[in-house]
Structure 1
Amino acid sequence: MEAFLLGLQLVFNVETMLVIFAAAIFGVFVGAVPGLTATMAVALLVPITFYMDPTPAIAAIVTTSAMAIFAGDIPATYLNIPGTPSSAAYVADSHLLAHKGRARETLGMNLICSVFGGLFGTLVLVFVSPSLAEVALQFSSFEYFWLALLGLSCSIFISIGSRVKAFLSLMIGLLLSTVGLDMMSGAPRFTFGIPDLMGGINFIPVMIGMFALNELMLFYGSRNEGRELPSLSKDSVFKQAPKHIKAYWPNMIRGSSIGTLIGALPGAGADIAAWISYAVGKGRSKQKQAYGTGHIEGIVDASSANNSGISGAWVPALVFGIPGDSITAIVIGVLYMKGMNPGPTIFMDGTGLIYALFIVFFLANLIMLPIGYAAIKSAKVFILTPRKILMPIILCFCIVGAFSINNSITDVWIMLLIGFIASILARCDFPMAPAILGLVLGTTLENSFMSSMLKSNGDLLSFFSRPISAGLGALVILLWLSPLITMAYKKFKHNSQHKAPRIS
């Protein structure tokens, strides 16, 4: 109790509260600008945290990341450009709803689900973090192989339109993931003698090219200078929220649970959690065909998983010092710098810092409501600003965002090249999301597979030798076979209904 009271004192003071407020504003700005990500925002904060006490430093990072993930939904809704990678899972639904005059209603549900998911993940972090961390530690290369394969498979099954085109788009992403040094031989692959490609292709420039630059090229390449923006939304932010919450509260709980569990797996992150939650929600929905056509249910599924995934990623980071995503990878360095050594002893140091961290998580998600509401009300800047002015500004941010990842002009050229290719694919109705997921998970898939083959001396049955691995493998195979099973069932049902009665 004494440590908890000390934690309250560390948080509820003028300095920490001002830092939380300022970080929330900064997070909204970064998340709402296409090309800038939550990870980038946190990275930009690290030099500033050198001059802060431990509690304000961690509060700044937690608040910024939470706000940036939500704010990524704003350009996704109005411009069809995800502000952060985790918004890409439901960008089609958000943008189509905006064209129906329901932009504020959509963003209101995004905000509510983000707050709910963040609070849900924080409760899990507080009460069951040691147990979840133990489960995550049981994942070996075998489990990560199946988990990556599950994510890639979901990207095909949740895509709108032709699954063949979704599969080909996924192959493009997997091809991009092979650029760099070969894991086994160390030989360069597809680098064309460019040193900057030795480390592989970062998915941020590719995401900017596929979504933001693609939109820019469609705008300048069409006769009417691009698609029309949604009409200025006058709908209420929260008027329809009670109805949606009543209808989809199971989706909120399921999405938050999936987000927390996926987030607790090292290297997974909020974007993968959003994709898997969207796929699970579509599979269990009574309106599967509505997903991707402007359906609020898909937004509830994925946006609940976004912020809960952030909280879940702190579980292995705090308990075992293993980063759950790129943000917590940065945070671990800050924790060490501030004398908070991640590990089991962090819960027993008696200084109240761990309780201060938990309190900050609750505050960061609660402050999201008023600041997020203000951001939604002022988001009409995307509508009122002429596109001839807005698009060049977005292009500048895209170039800055691509360059700042590695301070490399090569990333800018990658963004431009991918944007050009994506604009051609988009005109042929190829979905972009599977390509992004293929790039993100391709390296994990290859490294996990090669590591597993080395461990098992090439025995493929070893992928089913562990209980968790066998369960995930069975789930992936069942997903692959589900179209055949569905077709066989429909054919059997059709034949049984039209079978001629026997004449006795």
Structure 2
Amino acid sequence: MDAIARAVGMVADPAVLATILVSSLFGLFVGFIPGLTATMATALLVPFAMKLDPVAAIAAIVAATAMAIFAGDIPGTLLRLPGTPAAAAYVDQAYRLAKAGRAAEVLGVNVVFSAFGGLIGTTVLVLFAPVLADYALSLSSFEFFWLAVLGLSCAVFVVGENAAKGTASLLFGLLLATVGRDYTSGFPRFTLGAPELLDGVPFVPALIGFFALPEIVRTMRDPDTPAAVPLPRNAGIFSGIPRKLMQWPLNLLRSATLGTVVGALPGAGADIAAWTSYALSRRLTRDPAAWQTDSVEGIVDATSANNASLAGAWIPALVFAIPGDTITAIAIAVLYLKNVTPGPSIFLENAHTLYAVFLCFFLANLLMVPLGWTAIRIAVPILKLPRRLLMAPLLLFACLGAYAVENSLFGIGVMLVAGLIGFWMEENGYPVGPTVLGMVMGRLVEEHLMSSLIRVQGDPLRFFERPIAAALAAFTLLVWLLPLVRILRRTWARAG
């Protein structure tokens, strides 16, 4: 209790509260600009964090990343330009509903369920950090392989109405994932002699190209087209939210828990949590027809999961000093430089600092609702401008985001090529979502497959020896068989 009281006093310091507020506004700005990710927001804060005390430094990182993840939903919903990779999982559905005049409803769902997802994830972090960290660290490459395959299997639910074209899009994404050094030998593959491709196709520039440029090109082809999205009235953003909270409490709890667990797995992150939760939502919905047309259920699940994953990534970081993602890797470095050592001893030696970090998580997620509403109010007048006037600044911001990843013009080239490919795909009915999913999961599948094969000297039966691996394999195979079962049921129904 003394440590908790001390932590409350540390967080209540006006300097810490001011740091949280300023960092939150900075995170909203970064997340709103396509390509400037939450990781980049964290990296940009490090020079300033070094001049703060440990609690204020970590509070700045927590607040900025939480706000950046949410802010990516605003341009995704109104312009189909995902501000962060985590928003890419559901940007098509959000934009489609926005064009139908429901932008206010979608943005309200994004704000509220992001905040609730973050609060649930933080609660899990506080209550079960040691248990979940132990579980995450007990997983071997076999379990990670099946988890990656399961994540890749989510493509079954996001390929769209045309399964053949959706599958082709997924295979193209897997092909892009093979670009770069071979995981085992280090031999370059499909790099065309470009050293910038040795580490693979830059993901953020490609993401911006696939989602942002096609919309910009379509608008510039017909510059007199009015705004495609009826802009929301701010007064209506929160209308209907209590009913949605009562309608989907289990979705919120399930997705936030899933996001926390995914975030606790090293290397996963908010984007994989969003994709996995979005696909699971489509599979478990009680009304598949409404889910695909006029329901926000998928957005509820995905936006809850990606914010919850931020807290999950801190579980192995705080308990075992193993970063769950790049953001916590930066945070661990800051803690070390502040003479605070993450790990089991932190619960004894710096318990007050740990509790202060937890309080910062709760405070940042609570601030998300009023600050998110303010961000939408600021964004809407800007977006009332004619779309043809918005495209040039958006293209500039897209180029800035693509350049800033590696501080290289090569990122802009990747963005332009991906944009042209994405435009051609959409014009011909090929969804770009499976391509992005293939890029995200392809490298993980290959890495853990090769690592596991080396361990077992090529014996595939060893992939099923460990109980958790066997359970994940069985569940993955069940997901694969679902489309076949549906086809057989429809065939039998027609025959009957």
CA distance in 1 between counterparts of 2:21 and 2:419 reads 36
User: Residue by residue, what CA displacement relative to the aligned partner does 1:379-417 show, whole Å, maximum 9, x if unpaired?
Assistant: 213531222221111111111111111112111111111
Q: Which moved more, 1:384-393 or 1:126-135?
A: 384-393
CA distance in 2 between counterparts of 1:118 and 1:158 reads 25
CA distance in 1 between counterparts of 2:112 and 2:435 reads 29
Q: 1:160: Cα distance to partner? A: 2.1
Q: 1:490: Cα distance to partner? A: 4.0
Q: Which amino acid aligns with 2:192?
A: F
CA contact (8 A) 2:318 2:342 kept: yes
What residue number does 2:466 align with? 466
User: Residue by residue, what CA displacement relative to the aligned partner does 1:92-126 show, whole Å, maximum 9, x if unpaired?
Assistant: 22112222222122111111101111010101101
2:183 is aligned with 1:175:
no
CA contact (8 A) 1:111 1:369 kept: yes
Q: How do residues 365-444 of structure 1 correspond to structure 2 at under 5 angstroms?
A: 365-444=365-444
Q: Give the direction of change, closer, same or farther, for the CA distance of 1:86–1:113 in structure 2 (3 Å limit).
A: same
CA distance in 1 between counterparts of 2:68 and 2:409 reads 25
Match of 2:261, SS state, is: helix
User: Residue by residue, what CA displacement relative to the aligned partner does 1:118-152 show, whole Å, maximum 9, x if unpaired?
Assistant: 01010110110100011111211111111111111
What residue number does 1:52 align with? 52
CA distance in 1 between counterparts of 2:266 and 2:9 reads 32
Alignment coverage as a number of residue pairs: 495
Q: Which amino acid aligns with 1:420?
A: L
User: Residue by residue, what CA displacement relative to the aligned partner does 1:336-385 show, whole Å, maximum 9, x if unpaired?
Assistant: 11122221111111461111101101100011111111112232135312
Q: Which amino acid aligns with 1:26?
A: F
CA distance in 1 between counterparts of 2:378 and 2:337 reads 38
What residue number does 1:100 align with? 100
What residue number does 1:232 align with? 231
CA distance in 2 between counterparts of 1:443 and 1:38 reads 21
CA distance in 1 between counterparts of 2:492 and 2:176 reads 42
What residue number does 1:314 align with? 314
Match of 2:35, SS state, is: coil
CA contact (8 A) 1:6 1:351 kept: no
CA distance in 2 between counterparts of 1:42 and 1:231 reads 33
CA distance in 2 between counterparts of 1:198 and 1:226 reads 42
CA distance in 1 between counterparts of 2:225 and 2:470 reads 48
User: Residue by residue, what CA displacement relative to the aligned partner does 1:200-219 show, whole Å, maximum 9, x if unpaired?
Assistant: 22210110110112211222
Q: 1:18: Cα distance to partner? A: 0.4
CA distance in 2 between counterparts of 1:374 and 1:128 reads 33
What residue number does 1:256 align with? 256
What residue number does 2:214 align with? 214
What residue number does 2:197 align with? 197
Q: Equivalent pairs: percent with the same residue?
A: 47
Q: Which amino acid aligns with 1:380?
A: V
CA distance in 2 between counterparts of 1:54 and 1:418 reads 41
TM-score when scaled to structure 2?
A: 0.96
User: Residue by residue, what CA displacement relative to the aligned partner does 1:176-224 show, whole Å, maximum 9, x if unpaired?
Assistant: 121211122221111122122222222101101101122112222x335
CA contact (8 A) 1:70 1:110 kept: yes
Q: Which moved more, 1:285-294 or 1:446-455?
A: 285-294
CA distance in 1 between counterparts of 2:402 and 2:248 reads 37
Q: Which moved more, 1:4-13 or 1:222-231?
A: 222-231
What residue number does 2:302 align with? 302
CA distance in 1 between counterparts of 2:243 and 2:8 reads 36
User: Residue by residue, what CA displacement relative to the aligned partner does 1:213-270 show, whole Å, maximum 9, x if unpaired?
Assistant: 22112222x3356684212323611111111111111111111111111111111111
Q: Which amino acid aligns with 2:183?
A: M
Match of 2:201, SS state, is: coil
Q: Give the direction of change, closer, same or farther, for the CA distance of 1:381–1:172 in structure 2 (3 Å limit).
A: farther
What residue number does 1:487 align with? 487
What residue number does 1:111 align with? 111
CA contact (8 A) 2:223 2:388 kept: no
CA distance in 1 between counterparts of 2:164 and 2:153 reads 12
Q: Give the direction of change, closer, same or farther, for the CA distance of 1:461–1:225 in structure 2 (3 Å limit).
A: farther
CA distance in 1 between counterparts of 2:224 and 2:139 reads 50
Q: 1:493: Cα distance to partner? A: 5.3
CA distance in 2 between counterparts of 1:462 and 1:187 reads 27
Q: Which amino acid aligns with 1:349?
A: E
CA contact (8 A) 2:104 2:231 kept: no
Q: Which amino acid aligns with 2:90?
A: Y
Q: Which amino acid aligns with 1:231?
A: P
CA contact (8 A) 1:146 1:472 kept: yes
Q: Which amino acid aligns with 1:133?
A: A
What residue number does 1:501 align with? none
Q: Which moved more, 1:259-268 or 1:349-358?
A: 349-358
CA distance in 2 between counterparts of 1:84 and 1:333 reads 23
CA distance in 2 between counterparts of 1:149 and 1:351 reads 38
Q: Give the direction of change, closer, same or farther, for the CA distance of 1:490–1:430 in structure 2 (3 Å limit).
A: closer
Q: Which amino acid aligns with 1:198?
A: L
Q: Which moved more, 1:94-103 or 1:64-73?
A: 94-103
CA RMSD of aligned residues (A): 1.6
What residue number does 2:9 align with? 9
Q: Give the direction of change, closer, same or farther, for the CA distance of 1:75–1:385 in structure 2 (3 Å limit).
A: same
Q: 1:322: Cα distance to partner? A: 1.6
Q: Which moved more, 1:249-258 or 1:290-299?
A: 290-299
Q: 1:78: Cα distance to partner? A: 0.5
Q: Which amino acid aligns with 1:8?
A: V
TM-score when scaled to structure 1?
A: 0.95
Q: 1:156: Cα distance to partner? A: 3.3
CA contact (8 A) 1:210 1:418 kept: yes
Q: Give the direction of change, closer, same or farther, for the CA distance of 1:232–1:351 in structure 2 (3 Å limit).
A: closer
CA distance in 1 between counterparts of 2:486 and 2:160 reads 18
The unaligned stretches of length 5 or more in structure 2 are: none
CA distance in 2 between counterparts of 1:423 and 1:322 reads 40
Q: Which amino acid aligns with 1:419?
A: G
